[in-house]
Amino acid sequence: MQTKPFRQTRWRLALWYAVVMGFILSLCGFGVYEVMIYAHLVAIDRELKSVAGTLHDSIEPNLKQSGRLELIFHQLLPDICSAKSSCPTQTVYRQGYHTSTKRHILSAIYQGNYYYIRFVDGAGQLIALAGFQPEGLPLAVGQKVWQTLKDQQGDRYHQMSLPLHTQDNRLWGYIQVGRSLKDLDSRLAALKLILGLGLPITVLLVGGSSWWLAGLAMQPINQSYQQMKQFTADAAHELRTPVAAIQAAVESVLRMSYLSESEARDTLKNVVSQNHRLAEMIEDLLLLSRLEEQKILTPQVTCCLNDLVSDLVEEFADMAFAAKVILTSEVRVRKSLYVVGDENQLYRLVSNLITNAIKYTPAGGQITVVLDRSNSHALIEVRDTGIGIAPEEQTRIFERFYRVNSDRSRSSGGAGLGLAIASAIIQAHHGSLQVQSELGKGSTFTIQLPSISK
């Protein structure tokens, strides 16, 4: 569960990501729109240049008198209509000449209501026209070669104008070849609609994805934060107990009018005991922190596990006897097993497991420390016939301050750091620590370390 600051941060991350992606997608959409316009206009310009150039080059050498239609006009443009005569409607004409113009090199101008050809004199008066006949389209005679015009319906046309000269180099007039942009405008309108609807929907999808990704990215941070909060609460709770005991002992002494030597000694012993508990807990926390941050370099020293197990069983024999449990060792290898690491840390690793086994094994139980080999690894097993660990708790027992049974742990003086330290030590030695347990039957902790031959 995320706290309010994490939710706010998640919202900000998702919003910024959506805004940035929306801006990028808008730029891409605008780029696609402009590229589409440019590509179509280039294609249209190329077509107009081809048609206008062909007509210009074919007609101009045959012009003898300004403003007069020569025979070449009718040969190239069978449907040409003089402005002084009444022209047939475009629909009837296209039906009559559509098949005959297919064989003509300029037949492209008759394919749909796209192209028109107009011949204008130097004064701007219409001489003749051919092809599609747009209504209300201005003649717009001038120095510009390329023009974009609109007819009465608001449809756009792209037009190219070229001057025509007679054989004696006098200005005959102009040829205007134009093409309707209605198909282009339709495509652009459809593209605008797609972009107008698609971009907001895409941004919403990106926003939802951003929210999910932000949560996914912040999950490890949130887990670390929750672990830090839990650690702070647990550490404060553990430190409060001995501090409260010391404070209570000192206050009780201060309230007494007379303090005998034996009472003073008992009070001081209690204070020393609680102080020792505090010092031990702080030392464990520092060790654990340094191990997890890898601030403690593991010395590359050869350690004999046979001697390590033998020394530990001998050292904890008195503790096991006091707890009325049987502590034994079982060495299953003939030759000594050696590993590389810090002998003191390995000693602490196994001793923590033995200590826990003694604490949680009832009187009359048995604890066995087994030394064995598996391929290129050394195995140390600490088996007990104690209370066992529930399956749902086995994954959490290596967390700091976690206890399977808090009351039992406190009564035995533990702070819940032993297994966390053991896990950190095993990781520093590139090994593994596994647990197998069943309630009421006991637990087995298995240490696996890379072994070396000697």
Q: Which pLDDT tens digit goes with each residue over 353-382?
A: 999 999 999 999 999 999 999 888 999 999
Q: Assess if residue 201 is contained within a domain.
A: no
Q: Which pLDDT tens digit goes with each residue over 224-267?
A: 777 777 767 767 766 777 788 888 888 888 888 787 888 888 88
- Clarify whether residues 70 and 149 are in a common domain: yes
Which pLDDT score, from 0 to 100, does residue 103 have? 42
Q: Assess if residue 213 is contained within a domain.
A: no
Domain count, the chain: 3
CATH of the domain at 280: 1.10.287.130
Q: Assess if residue 97 is contained within a domain.
A: yes
Q: Which pLDDT tens digit goes with each residue over 65-90?
A: 888 888 888 888 888 888 777 665 44
- Binned at pLDDT 50, 70 and 90, residue 96 comes out as very low
Which pLDDT score, from 0 to 100, does residue 2 have? 61
354 versus 399: the higher-pLDDT residue is: 354
Is the pLDDT score of 98 beyond 50? no
- In SS3 terms, the chain reads as CCCHHHHHHHHHHHHHHHHHHHHHHHHHHHHHHHHHHHHHHHHHHHHHHHHHHHHHHHHHHHCCCCCCCCHHHHHHCCCCEECCCCCCCHHHHHHHHCCHHHHCCCHHHHCCCCEEEEEECCCCCEEEEEECCCCCCCCCCCCCCEEEEECCCCCEEEEEEEEEECCCCCEEEEEEEEEECHHHHHHHHHHHHHHHHHHHHHHHHHHHHHHHHHHHHHHHHHHHHHHHHHHHHHHHHHHHHHHHHHHHHHHHHHHCCCCCHHHHHHHHHHHHHHHHHHHHHHHHHHHHHHHHCCCCCCCCEEEEHHHHHHHHHHHCHHHHHHCCCEEEEEECCCCCCEEEECHHHHHHHHHHHHHHHHHCCCCCCEEEEEEEEECCEEEEEEEECCCCCCHHHCCCCCCCCCCCCHHHHHHCCCCCCHHHHHHHHHHHCCCEEEEEEECCCEEEEEEEEEEECC
Which pLDDT score, from 0 to 100, does residue 448 have? 95
Q: Assess if residue 431 is contained within a domain.
A: yes
Q: Which of 128-142, 214-228, 264-278, 314-328 has the highest mean pLDDT?
A: 314-328
Domain boundary, last residue among 292, 324, 348: 292
Q: Assess if residue 72 is contained within a domain.
A: yes
- Clarify whether residues 406 and 282 are in a common domain: no
User: How far is residue 437 CA from its own chain's centroid?
Assistant: 39
- Clarify whether residues 10 and 45 are in a common domain: yes
Which pLDDT score, from 0 to 100, does residue 27 have? 92
Which pLDDT score, from 0 to 100, does residue 237 have? 67
Domain boundary, last residue among 242, 272, 292: 292
- Clarify whether residues 141 and 28 are in a common domain: yes
- Binned at pLDDT 50, 70 and 90, residue 297 comes out as low
Q: Which pLDDT tens digit goes with each residue over 21-65?
A: 889 999 998 999 999 999 999 999 998 998 899 899 999 999 998
- Clarify whether residues 248 and 167 are in a common domain: no
CATH of the domain at 352: 3.30.565.10
Instruction: Give the residue among 426, 447, 427, 425 at the shortest CA–CA distance from 436.
Output: 447
Angle formed by the axes of helices 343-359 and 305-315, to 10°?
40
Domain boundary, last residue among 271, 292, 313: 292
Average pLDDT over every residue of 398-418: 62
Q: Assess if residue 344 is contained within a domain.
A: yes
- Clarify whether residues 60 and 163 are in a common domain: yes
Q: 71 is in which domain, residue-wise?
A: 4-189
Which pLDDT score, from 0 to 100, does residue 347 have? 93
- Clarify whether residues 325 and 432 are in a common domain: yes
Q: Assess if residue 141 is contained within a domain.
A: yes
Are 331 and 306 in contact by the 8 Å Cβ rule? The answer is yes
Average pLDDT over every residue of 85-102: 45
- Clarify whether residues 346 and 418 are in a common domain: yes
- Clarify whether residues 287 and 330 are in a common domain: no
CATH of the domain at 9: 3.30.450
Q: Assess if residue 228 is contained within a domain.
A: yes
Is the pLDDT score of 1 beyond 60? no
- In this prediction the pTM is 0.51
Which pLDDT score, from 0 to 100, does residue 100 have? 42
- Clarify whether residues 321 and 247 are in a common domain: no
Which pLDDT score, from 0 to 100, does residue 112 have? 60
- Clarify whether residues 281 and 308 are in a common domain: no
- Clarify whether residues 288 and 326 are in a common domain: no
- Binned at pLDDT 50, 70 and 90, residue 288 comes out as confident
Q: What is the mean pLDDT of the chain?
A: 83
